[in-house]
Each structure stands twice: as C-alpha cells, then as structure tokens.
C-alpha cells in the first residue's frame, strides 16, 4: 500500500484561501476516485469533495461554490483549492482513495490508503 502525502495547509483569516496537494502513485489516481476529507477536534471525519477517474467532481453542500477539487494531467497529484474560508473549515485535511460503496460516495469508511493529513486553521 502506498499512502498519499498531503501538503499545503496553514493558518489563514476568514475569507482567505489555501491550496492543498495530495501526491500518490499514478496507479492510485487512475484506478480509484480520490476524496478530500476533514476532521475537526472532537468531531467525526467528514467528506469534503471527491473526483472520479473521469475527473467529475462531487462536493459536500458545506463547501459548494468555495472549494474546487482537481487532478494534474499526469494524474499523480490531486488538489483542493479552498477559497472564502470560514472558521468552521478548520480541521485536519486528508486525501484518500475510494475502495467500496456508492460510486460518488463521500463516506469516509468507503475510502482507504489514508495520508497523514495537513492542518488547516481559519481564524475569525
């Protein structure tokens, strides 16, 4: 199992932007949908966005219009562009690959090969 590596997190004020990256083996991106998830202290991990192997995105309602998920042309890096950030976007952000479940699932238990995460902190 090759686990992805996330980067790009940081601390910003509300209304700011951050761009996250997820680096993994090419096989992972070509064979599986990739998702971004987040987990705030004391809360369950939740799905943020997923991109399928045809580059079709799906977003959680809470981030629609503010976040954009994408992959590079070589399908070796995944991205999450985050804008108009809110304090409630604070959390550890992870990328992972879909292993089971509904094709456009955002359910964390449908995903595997988790990275270590990158911290995003949004202050008011």
User: SS3 sequence, 3-69?
Assistant: CCEEECCEEEECCCCEEEEEECCHHHHHHCCEEEEEECCCCCCEEEEEECCCCCEEECHHHCCCEEE
Mean pLDDT of the chain: 93
* pLDDT of res. 26: 65
pLDDT tens figures, 63-116: 999 999 999 888 889 999 999 999 999 999 999 999 988 888 999 999 998 989
């Amino acid at each position: 199992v090759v686990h992805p590596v996330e980067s790009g997190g940081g601390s910003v004020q509300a209304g700011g932007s951050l761009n996250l990256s997820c680096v993994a083996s090419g096989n992972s991106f070509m064979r599986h949908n990739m998702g971004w998830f987040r987990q705030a202290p004391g809360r369950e991990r939740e799905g943020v966005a997923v991109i399928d192997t045809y580059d079709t995105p799906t977003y959680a309602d809470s981030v629609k219009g503010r976040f954009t998920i994408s992959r590079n042309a070589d399908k070796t890096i995944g991205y999450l562009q985050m804008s108009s950030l809110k304090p409630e976007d604070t959390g550890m952000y992870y990328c992972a690959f879909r292993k089971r479940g509904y094709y456009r699932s955002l359910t964390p238990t449908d995903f595997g090969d988790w990275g270590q995460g990158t911290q995003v902190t949004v202050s008011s």
